[in-house]
Amino acid sequence: MRGKLHPESKPGVGTTFEIVLPAKPAAHNSQHEQFARLDQFRCYLLCTDTSVFKDGSNCLRHLGATVKQIASLATLDLQQMSASANAGTYNVLVAVDDNARIDDYQAITEKASDQALHRLVLVRPLENQTVSVENEVFTIVGTRPNLNTTFQYVISVLHGNVAHLLEEEAGSTESARVITREEAERSGRMILVAEDNDINQRVIKSQLDLLGYACDIAANGEEALVLWGKNHYSLLLTDLHMPVLDGYELTAAIRRQEKNGDKRLPILAFTANATKSERKACIDSGMNDYLPKPVPLENLQQKLARWTNQSTGTDVRATSDTDTAVMNTADAVLDVGVLEKLVGADKAIIQSFLHDYKASSQRSAAAIFKAYEGGEWQQVGRIAHALKSSSRSVGALALGEICAELENAGKTQDEKQIHRLMTGFQQTLTAVVESISKRGI
């Protein structure tokens, strides 16, 4: 086919292939061109990730847009944009910013004139939404697992075609309506979650959404204790091993502060260390019940219903495919069926979780290797503990088991055992990342 193949490999990460193929232009379609082209758009693209900027700008330029990279909102010159605007030319800002403060972008639209800024599109994670229209200029597009798909949504918004995206979303039978905080507080469905791992936070949030509960999430026991003091919750779900204040200390603090005669807060532990001794320790410390991680959706529903006096409501088994279908998605290193049993079988949600886990696991692995090279064996164990839990949640079970062994070896500072495990850790992690990549993520 007279094409070119450019591989780029990174140890412990995998290989990226860039393929260039010659192709003849398709027959001209004037109606399609009129809808899809961006010749009249001057796009200011805010993106700090070099590869995302390259792919996103290529997508926009392919349709005729002029693209200029900006480093931050502070470098955006609205006066210069307004002065350079010509008749029939539209200035637009497209920002890819996972940690964006919505208020900062709202302020930009309030300052800018129509000439300076025709549209502002912010790309960031959105829970249970495709798009969120903030005002007539400002629209948020939810991050999709595939970058090209994300920019297809961005282009639709630039053209003002938001209505059909909202109609699609409203008409979808896959997405359950998320209960509001006010509804949750009135109906006894407001849950406090204490969990330090970001992937596990997303898993439990999605599970509670599916089951008709709302939640506040704290990254450690100290944050959870502050939230408990300010709000009314029907139940606390707490991890046991967290920084600052762990689950046992959090429980003890709450039990000390509960007044005589007050209804005691039901406290449920959930942890990756599913041992009889730990279960006994949970009950002895004042907790009411115990759930091993990862928690299947049906098991979580039953526990929540018991301790919040709720009816079980929707049959959660209907949110995922049959067990046979789940088993067919499994491979040697990544059993996606595990994740489906936790959060349902919606393909977009599964892909989003795997996308985030892939990035998170590679960051954790880099931190483990750094600690390993520095001979910091306890630090190796601490990082492996967090990666163990999220790996088990997404179905990377073999990697989860290796992380559990690294965790134990780190606690005892067993240098020989850690050396023995690290080769298998790297090989298994690489296999998991490759398995996720094969799914187009």
Q: What is the pLDDT of residues 91-123, one digit of tens each?
A: 889 999 887 788 888 888 888 876 688 888 998
- Is the per-residue pLDDT at 413 higher than 80? yes
Highest-pLDDT range among 99-113, 199-213, 370-384: 370-384
- What fold, for 347-438? Four Helix Bundle (Hemerythrin (Met), subunit A) (1.20.120)
Q: Which sequence spans correspond to the domains of the chain?
A: 37-171, 181-317, 347-438
Instruction: Return the CATH number of the domain spanning residue range 181-317.
Output: 3.40.50.2300
For the domain with range 37-171, which CATH number is right: 3.30.70.270, 3.40.640.10, 3.30.9.10, 3.40.50.2300?
Answer: 3.40.50.2300
Share of the chain above pLDDT 70, in %: 80
pLDDT in tens, 263-272: 789 999 988 7
pTM equals 0.56
d(CA 145, CA 380): 30
Spatial CB neighbours of 32, under 8 Å, sequence gap ≥ 6: none
What tokens does 257 get?
A: 């502060």
* Confidence tier at 287 by pLDDT (50, 70, 90): very high
Longest dimension (CA), the chain: 80
pLDDT in tens, 179-204: 888 888 988 999 999 999 888 898 99
Task: Give the 3-state secondary structure of residue 378.
Answer: helix
- Is the per-residue pLDDT at 420 higher than 70? yes
Beta strands in 143-201 (DSSP E): 190-194
Give the H or E element holding residue 276.
helix 276-284
pLDDT of residue 314: 44
- Is the per-residue pLDDT at 404 higher than 60? yes
Count of H-run helices and E-run strands, the chain: 18, 13
Listing DSSP states for 66-122 in one string gives: EEEEES-GGG--HHHHHHH--TT-EEEEEEE-TT--HHHHHHHHHHS-TTT-SEEEE
d(CA 127, CA 201): 13
Same topology for domains 37-171 and 181-317, yes or no? Answer: yes
- Picking from 206, 267, 278, the residue whose alpha carbon sits closest to that of residue 241 is 278
| Average pLDDT of every residue of the chain | 81
**CB neighbours of residue 348 within 10 Å:** 14
Higher pLDDT, 19 or 117: 117
Average pLDDT over residues 392-405: 92
d(CA 404, CA 398): 10
- Picking from 236, 213, 39, 60, the residue whose alpha carbon sits closest to that of residue 148 is 60
